[in-house]
Amino acid sequence: MSFTKLSRSSPSRHLPLLLLAIAGIYGSLQLQAALLSQLVLYIGGIMVLIGFALMTLRALQSALRDWKRGAGVLEQPELADADGAH
């Protein structure tokens, strides 16, 4: 696995954990006057959490596929059309 692939997938793996930690902090606060805005933030945070988790899975899938092939699309551009993985 190349350093580029590893560095691209590494930040995505830690962001969902950070979002869960932040949600735990805000969830423990008693903000009765701001329930609607808190709900909107939670829904947005959950959407971001799901998005980061999916991006992490996609980056790991791409890195694993390139590792099995022995080269990535950036090193060998002709591989881009070999299996339809763009």
Write down the pLDDT at residue 44: 86
- Answer with the residue of higher pLDDT: 76 or 10: 76
Number of domains composing the chain: 1
Range of the domain at 69: 3-81
Per-residue pLDDT of 5-55, as tens digits, reads: 655 666 666 666 676 777 777 666 665 556 667 777 888 888 888 989 999
C-alpha distance from residue 12 to each of 30, 52, 58, 73, 78 (Å): 30, 6, 10, 21, 27
* DSSP-derived secondary structure letter, 74: T
Q: What is the per-residue pLDDT for 41?
A: 81
pLDDT for position 66: 83
Do 48 and 28 form a contact (C-beta atoms < 8 A)?
Answer: no
Please report whether residue 86 resides in a domain.
no
The verdict on residue 63 lying in a domain is yes
Per the CB < 8 A criterion, the answer to whether 6 and 53 are in contact is no
| Average pLDDT of the segment spanning 71-81 | 75
Task: Record the pTM.
Answer: 0.49
Alpha helices in 1-86 (DSSP H): 3-28, 35-69
Distance, CA of 74 to chain centre: 21
